[in-house]
Structure 1
């Protein structure tokens, strides 16, 4: 049983910056619904990411591409209602910010107004610098995302390790600096070598959150259903399962089925 005692004060961009400065690791997990958000928030998670991974986890798609802006707003609003302390970040889905800066601003404004989230997140580097500047100038906190960017899976040719060495690593480093200069309040680095991620985290003033990026960054993020052992078909090297809820759920459902079939549920005390 964890001895961590969660704080109750709301996490903000300023609090995240202070955590980076004080070298306090930042915790981040995904959430897509009210119930999970309430549980994770009560446990003391620092950031709740309403990821476009909802396309995979909640809808069963093989990529994140199909999820729509309306669907992300629905999931985001559910999570915000369940969160009291955590900083809530909503992913901007594929197609909601790539077309033009005006489209990106319109999409981000909708997310902020209709969900009550604290920030939006988008994937990509140099081609988005001016877009990010536009969002930030409009008062919208932006989290960047480099390395493995799932919305570009077809262009990348899969979900392999990114920025492995040499020019690719240097390019990611420069893009990370550019995202900070463009106004991002934090950065997610996904599936990059630990040495590369550490170099980025040490150079940036904003928090760098890793997933498959080693321990030298400022915080970690995982998909909650993966971390909790609710999904067993996905087992990348970086994933640690902190529970086996899938087995517990199946066992509980089996017990329920048995009780109903043998008419031991509901009992007399459970009846009116």
Structure 2
């Protein structure tokens, strides 16, 4: 099998051309805070081609461990490995030129100690050329966030509904319905911000919680099922594009690519079975 398609400027992550000066930086994104700032736009990406398509419109591309379900058909993000994240992270860096690329640290790669977190994060940044990592958890992860940021690794926090903790949470329902849990989520956000995170994803919480965290931390917040009053928003790209039938309540579908792909493949299959494809214009003939 072959294809003639290529990525423009498809340089290796170690090539300076893969990280041009116009790529957005952590200091630039930290300033996007407050109601008067332009909201941050983030989408997930897992492949070079998707990164190429999303890049002109996004401030950040997240190589999410949601690739477990989106790419590999796994039931949760728990089985994801560092090797998987590194491979897809490098592809997204190669496919982008404008957005800051951040990579999720997979379950089991950072929780044991700050030193383990640094080893895993350093590997991801070295092997991919990405600019930041994201890790889940609140106050318990603050020492790791501080350890990383003090050693030159930018960190995005992730609080509220944390998918890697699905076995503890008991599912993917909205978080913060009890006063105690709501207070814990707010405390988590403050702890992660004070530890040095340059941004915090707030997922699947009651809106007042997302608003309170946004107002009480100095770094930008990025909502996913949080609030429009967060400093930015993120969605899984494939969810937003309509590639899956079932999505979370907080997903807005901007397209029905699943339906369009199905229709296109049905047309192709019909042409093959009727021998309408390939036509003369698709074939090579001997030169006269």
TM-score range, shorter chain: over 0.9
Q: Distance in 2 between matches of 1:205 and 1:9?
A: 25
Q: Residue 148 of structure 1: CA displacement?
A: 0.3
Instruction: Describe the superposition over 1:174-212 as per-residue Cα deviations: whole angstroms up to 9, x where unpaired.
Output: 221111110101000000011110111111121100001
| Structure 2 CA distance for aligned equivalents of residues 222 and 61 of structure 1 | 19
Q: What are the residue-to-residue correspondences of 1:172-191 with 2, within 5 Å?
A: 172-191=185-204
TM-score by length of 1: 0.94
Partner of 2:267: 255
> Could you tell me which residue of structure 1 aligns to residue 48 of structure 2?
34
- Determine which of 243, 250, 254 is the counterpart of 1:242: 254
Larger Cα Rg: Structure 1 or Structure 2? Answer: 2
Q: 1:9: how far off?
A: 3.5
Question: Shift in Å at residue 100 of structure 1?
Answer: 2.0
Question: Deviating runs (4+, > 6 A) in structure 1?
Answer: none
After TM superposition, list the pairs within 5 Å mapping 1:77-156 onto structure 2: 77-156=90-169
* 5+ long unaligned stretches in structure 1: 1-7
Cα distance in 1 between the residues matched to 2:138 and 2:39: 25
Determine the structure 1 residue equivalent to 2:228.
Answer: 215
Which is further off, 179-188 or 14-23? 14-23
In angstroms, what is the RMSD of aligned CA positions? 1.2
SS at structure 1 position matched to 2:277? coil
Structure 2 distance, partners of 1:269, 1:157, is 56
SS in 1 for 2:32: helix
The number of residue pairs the alignment matches comes to 263
Secondary structure in structure 2 of the residue aligned to 1:258: helix
- Residue 5 of structure 1 corresponds to none
Contact map agreement 1:194 1:216 (CA 8 A) in 2: no
Task: Give how far 1:165 is off.
Answer: 4.1
* Contact in 2 for aligned 1:227/1:243 (Cα 8 Å): yes
Supply the distance in 2 between the matched residues of 1:264 and 1:255 (Cα, whole angstroms): 11
In 1, Cα distance between equivalents of 2:140 and 2:186:
15
How far apart, in 2, do the equivalents of 1:119 and 1:19 lie? 17
Distance, in Å, in 2 between the alignment partners of 1:94 and 1:161 is 21
* Partner of residue 72 from structure 1, selected from 62, 85, 88: 85
